[in-house]
């Protein structure tokens, strides 16, 4: 099980990835000259170097001299980066972006970014050369939240597996000996029906056993269970109390799926798309509801940069709530009388001048930093959990628009 510290670290890394991806998405090459390489953890670095060397020599055939030079420069830069690694990439692999990006006015800038150990494994080696960097696979990994148990079944076959983020992992399958609906001659109809029901019951028990063995040990991490299959099988299975009671409480829904082999697990995830999207923001919703409740009924809530920061430093913040769409920097000012003040500015805007609110003197800029990194840094030191809140629902939007994207649920009231 992940500890709070590990989880906080993972949130932070995800945020850092998101930030780099946003930057990369904005870049454009004037030709097909931006190179992206996805390297899985089991790919030998020497193989990748060989591939890049090959691409480098093939790039000699590119007609436009400028594109040719740019592509070759990008590949050289990637080879330089690869020298930092030994035999294999670090856990989950590496993604490298390199290329000459449009800097306006006919100028280009050489940009190279390496992202190590993404939140989920890089699944296959990809070499991509285009007028944009290839960020989709990484974005998918970052959008991924949650762990779900999957069960598909009919009366003859069943499969169980995991949905981790957007990745389906088939784990186990079973097939039944349930006889068909036609009885053989000589068998009494009653006896046949009883045997058939018994066989169905046995099979459901077997499937539930498989699901219980797989999901129960991870029930505390589990965000939900999805069950799929034709009717009435899935209904019989769920209504029949076969699943462990703690899993039953986590069933998000049952879905019509025609296949019950491994491909049925993928169909199930497709069929459950809406339910999964709701589930994903459900946690964000409950955080925001708790925040508003505390805000209205008492003083165990804080918001805005200054108050939230003060509370964080006091160690009184239980959970720091940051809007996923917050794109601001904080500027730290120091006046001649040593008053330290902060101003939050849009990331795209230049640093404004600042007059000290205490003594009216012109204050000097000490530092400009990403506001999320600034607050998360303090939160980590104080053992405060950080939650990123989506803007895909009303209260999430309010966090961004009405509270500057920054709020906190307090452990106790502090009056600041
Ligand atoms: Zn001052």
- pTM greater than 0.85 (yes/no): no
- Give me the CATH number covering residue 246: 3.30.420.60
Q: What is the pLDDT of residue 7?
A: 62
From the CA of 353, how far away is ligand 1's center (Å)? Answer: 14
Classify residue 416: in a domain, yes or no. no
From the CA of 14, how far away is ligand 1's center (Å)? Answer: 37
Among the three residues 115, 141, 167, which one is the final residue of a domain in this structure? 141
From the CA of 311, how far away is ligand 1's center (Å)? Answer: 22
d(CA 413, CA 317): 10
Tell me: do 134 and 172 sit in the same domain. no
Classify residue 415: in a domain, yes or no. no
Which residue range is the domain that position 256 belongs to? 147-277
Tally of domains within the chain: 3
From the CA of 308, how far away is ligand 1's center (Å)? Answer: 21
Among the three residues 81, 113, 141, which one is the final residue of a domain in this structure? 141
Tell me: do 373 and 334 sit in the same domain. yes
Q: What is the pLDDT of residue 6?
A: 63
From the CA of 306, how far away is ligand 1's center (Å)? Answer: 16
Tell me: do 211 and 320 sit in the same domain. no
Among the three residues 121, 141, 161, which one is the final residue of a domain in this structure? 141
Tell me: do 397 and 318 sit in the same domain. yes
Tell me: do 254 and 359 sit in the same domain. no
Q: What is the pLDDT of residue 1?
A: 40
Mean pLDDT per 10-residue section of the chain, whose length is 416 residues: 58 83 90 93 95 95 93 96 94 95 89 91 91 90 81 95 88 86 75 89 95 93 92 92 93 93 95 85 89 91 96 95 93 95 92 94 94 92 89 93 97 82
From the CA of 366, how far away is ligand 1's center (Å)? Answer: 14
Tell me: do 297 and 404 sit in the same domain. yes
- Give me the CATH number covering residue 93: 3.30.960.10
């Amino acid at each position: 099980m992940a500890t709070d510290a590990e989880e906080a670290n993972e949130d932070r890394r995800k945020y850092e990835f998101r930030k780099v991806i946003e930057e990369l998405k904005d870049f454009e090459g004037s030709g097909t000259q931006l190179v992206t390489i996805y390297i899985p953890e089991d790919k030998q670095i020497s193989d990748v170097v060989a591939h890049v060397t090959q691409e480098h020599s093939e790039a000699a055939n590119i007609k436009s001299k400028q594109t040719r030079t740019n592509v070759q420069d990008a590949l050289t830069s990637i080879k330089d980066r690869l020298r930092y690694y030994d035999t294999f990439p670090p856990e989950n692999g590496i993604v490298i972006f390199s290329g000459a990006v449009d800097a306006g006015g006919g100028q280009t800038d050489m940009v190279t970014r390496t992202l190590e150990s993404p939140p989920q494994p890089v699944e296959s080696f990809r070499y991509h050369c285009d007028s944009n960097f290839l960020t989709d696979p990484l974005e998918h990994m970052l959008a991924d939240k949650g762990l779900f148990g999957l069960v598909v079944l009919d009366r003859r076959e069943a499969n169980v597996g995991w949905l981790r983020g957007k990745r389906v992992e088939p784990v186990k399958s079973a097939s039944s000996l349930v006889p068909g609906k036609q009885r053989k001659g000589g068998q009494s109809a009653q006896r046949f029906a009883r045997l058939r029901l018994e066989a169905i019951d046995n099979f459901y028990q077997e499937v539930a056993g498989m699901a219980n063995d797989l999901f129960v040990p991870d029930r505390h991490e589990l965000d939900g269970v999805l069950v799929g299959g034709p009717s009435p099988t899935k209904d019989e299975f769920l209504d029949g109390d076969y699943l462990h009671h703690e899993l039953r409480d986590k069933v998000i829904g049952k879905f019509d799926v025609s296949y019950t082999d491994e491909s049925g697990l993928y169909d199930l995830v497709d069929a459950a798309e809406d339910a999964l999207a709701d589930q994903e923001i459900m946690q964000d919703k409950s955080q925001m509801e708790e925040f508003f409740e505390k805000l209205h009924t008492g003083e165990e809530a804080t918001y805005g940069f200054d108050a939230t920061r003060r509370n964080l430093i006091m160690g009184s913040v239980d959970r720091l709530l940051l809007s996923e769409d917050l794109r601001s920097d904080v500027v730290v000012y120091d006046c001649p009388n040593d008053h330290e003040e902060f101003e939050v500015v849009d990331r795209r805007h230049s640093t404004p001048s600042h007059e000290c609110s205490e003594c009216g003197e012109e204050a000097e800029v000490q530092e400009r930093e990403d506001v999320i990194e600034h607050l998360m840094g303090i939160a980590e030191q104080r053992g405060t959990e950080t939650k990123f809140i989506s803007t895909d629902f009303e209260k999430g939007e309010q966090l961004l628009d009405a509270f500057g994207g920054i709020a906190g649920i307090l452990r106790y009231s502090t009056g600041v």
